[in-house]
């Protein structure tokens, strides 16, 4: 298996409830090392740009508003098969459908306010990491 990097966000519903450490602990327990991390309060423009792929979806406005409602932790996670591993550890988008032990099952409040984001493929991981981090901010 290859060592990969993926992009993660701990979303506003989770930072508001002081779950940054608890969620990061789940990453670390599952072999995902935090090689970059910062706290950002994103602007509407940043949220619209980051989630541009969803701009025609009915939930887009709500999603942008939610992502700007409180701080977010943006992170780069590194490990074996990190992209798929992180998706597995996150659980299904809707916490009602998420498997036991996953972050969304443990912590998410709803399909929208679902505590974490994680890249879904190698190409999006590279784009999303570059969206938030300069190369010198990632320390492997």
Pairing between β-strand 33-40 and β-strand 3-10 as defined by DSSP bridges: unpaired
How many chain residues are in contact with ligand UDP, going by CB under 6 A? Answer: 8
Nearer to ligand UDP, 35 or 83 (CB): 83
- Under a CB-based contact definition with an 8 Å cutoff, are residues 51 and 60 in contact? yes
Beta bridge partners of 73: 10, 39
Q: Which of 17, 59, 96, 131 binds ligand UDP (CB under 6 A)?
A: 59
70 binds ligand UDP (CB under 6 A): no
Q: Is-catalytic flag, 54?
A: no
Stretch that binds ligand UDP, among 2-10, 12-20, 78-86, 107-115 (CB under 6 A): 107-115
114 binds ligand UDP (CB under 6 A): yes
The arrangement of strands across the sheet holding 33-40 comes to: 33-40, 72-80, 3-10, 116-118
d(CA 7, CA 120): 9
Note the residues at the interface with ligand UDP (CB under 6 A): 59, 63, 93, 111-112, 114, 117, 120
Residues recognised as catalytic: 117
């Amino acid at each position: 298996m290859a060592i990969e990097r993926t992009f993660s966000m701990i979303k506003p519903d989770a930072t508001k409830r002081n779950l940054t450490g608890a969620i990061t602990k789940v990453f670390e327990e599952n072999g995902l090392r935090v090689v970059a991390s910062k706290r950002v309060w994103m602007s509407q423009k940043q949220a619209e740009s980051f989630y541009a792929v969803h701009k025609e979806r009915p939930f887009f406005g709500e999603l942008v508003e939610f992502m700007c409602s409180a701080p977010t932790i943006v992170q780069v996670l590194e490990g074996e098969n990190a992209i798929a591993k992180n998706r597995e550890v996150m659980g299904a988008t809707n916490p009602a459908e998420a498997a036991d032990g996953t972050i969304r099952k443990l912590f998410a409040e709803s399909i929208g306010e679902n505590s974490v984001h994680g890249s879904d493929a190698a190409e999006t991981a590279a784009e999303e990491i570059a969206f938030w981090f300069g190369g010198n901010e990632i320390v492997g």
